[in-house]
């Protein structure tokens, strides 16, 4: 089981009006006179897969005058776990993000969502379009889970070598995991009693490590793993809810908010899933980043920082908009 790691000194906590206790980090401009009114909030993936510390490009954005925040979504990282796991829903995550905005006292937010964080940003934008100044989708997951059955979004597990596949099969075949899976289908809270958070989160961490190499163009890890724990029940229940909620796309077609979509050459997320953000959001620009997989900021850090900074500062983007319907040249055929 993954051993608990000490809480880093820069981690703080919000006690939100929703009841969630949320761990976060914050970086702010040194000179208050340079501070901009609208903070940047990074949204991690998963669901249930937090980052650690200020994300890539955070320091550059601080240098440009932005307050930068990154937080662990409820059920993940160092944030609180819910006693009733059926309360892990997309609506709860959106409500938490709105409570974060209220806690910050910000009229609007700039959202940067990676993977599932992009999906969450889209859900928040649909619910609160007047509360978003700009939004960036980095190798995002689906806009709506109900649009893609089975593995229609794409999975990182398809590129494992024999050793990784054997480890993955062993993890998936553990007796307690199989019993937990059966219970999840009929009574998630009973599954939670059988396999508590610490055990389930540790198992999810091991599973994630087996597939992480397939998320880059090189097939090799781009960053070392960290100790901020994952959230199994937040992942499973939020994903299940994501497939059942109403389709947000009609509302998003009316959202007049500037959006940047970063598509990655080697992303395991399928091209139509990424392209849909550009096709649905009326003020969106999609750019094609060659030589990058799902972890865009790790594979192409300079390009990622330049894109993010340019977009938020209303400068010309360093890459041209990609406007075709077909995949970019070299896009993995997935």
Query: Does residue 123 have a cis peptide bond before it, meaning omega lies within 30 degrees of 0?
Result: no
pLDDT band at 33; cut points 50, 70, 90? confident
Q: By the 8 A CB rule, do 296 and 271 touch? A: no
Q: What are the structure tokens assigned to 61, written together? A: 């954005």
At 1 the pLDDT is 63
**From residue 137, how far is each of 156, 191, 270, 314 by CA, in Å?**
19, 33, 15, 16
Candidate from 18-27, 223-232, 252-261, 319-328 with smallest mean pLDDT = 223-232
Phi, psi of 9 (to 5 degrees): -65, -25
Domains detected in the chain? 12-156+229-312 (3.40.50.1820)
Candidate from 139-153, 175-189, 289-303 with smallest mean pLDDT = 139-153
State the Cα torsion 260-228-108-101 to the nearest 10°.
160
pTM (two decimals): 0.95
Q: By the 8 A CB rule, do 142 and 153 touch? A: yes
What does DSSP assign to residue 2? P
At 334 the pLDDT is 46
Residues 170-188: b if buried by 16+ CB within 10 A, e if exposed: eeeeeeebeebeebbeeeb
């Amino acid at each position: 089981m993954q051993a608990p790691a000490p809480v880093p000194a820069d981690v703080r906590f919000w006690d939100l009006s929703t009841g969630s206790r949320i761990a976060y980090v914050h970086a702010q401009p040194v000179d208050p006179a340079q501070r901009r009114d609208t903070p940047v909030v990074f949204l991690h993936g998963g669901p249930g897969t937090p980052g650690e510390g200020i994300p890539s490009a955070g320091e550059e954005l601080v240098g440009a005058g932005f307050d930068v925040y990154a937080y662990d979504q409820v059920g993940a990282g160092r944030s609180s776990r819910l006693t009733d796991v059926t309360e892990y829903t997309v609506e709860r995550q959106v409500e938490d993000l709105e409570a974060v905005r209220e806690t910050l006292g910000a009229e609007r937010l700039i959202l940067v969502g990676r993977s599932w964080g992009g999906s969450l940003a889209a859900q928040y934008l649909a619910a609160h379009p007047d509360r978003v100044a700009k939004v960036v989708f980095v190798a995002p997951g689906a806009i709506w889970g109900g649009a893609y059955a089975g593995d229609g979004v794409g999975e990182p597990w398809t590129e494992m070598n024999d050793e990784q596949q054997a480890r993955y099969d062993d993890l998936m075949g553990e007796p307690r995991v199989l019993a937990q899976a059966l219970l999840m289908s009929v009574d998630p809270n009973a599954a939670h009693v059988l396999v508590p958070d610490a055990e389930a989160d540790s198992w999810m961490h091991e599973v994630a490590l087996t597939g992480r190499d397939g998320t880059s163009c090189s097939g090799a890890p781009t960053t070392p793993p960290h100790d901020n724990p994952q959230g199994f029940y937040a992942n499973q229940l939020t994903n299940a809810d994501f497939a059942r909620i109403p389709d947000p796309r009609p509302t998003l077609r009316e959202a007049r908010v500037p959006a940047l979509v970063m598509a990655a050459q080697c992303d395991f997320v399928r091209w139509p899933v990424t392209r849909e953000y550009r096709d649905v959001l009326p003020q969106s620009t999609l750019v094609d980043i060659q030589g990058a997989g799902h972890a865009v900021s790790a594979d192409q850090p300079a390009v990622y920082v330049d894109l993010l900074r340019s977009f938020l500062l209303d400068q010309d983007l360093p890459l041209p908009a990609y406007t075709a319907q077909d995949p970019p040249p070299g896009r993995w055929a997935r």
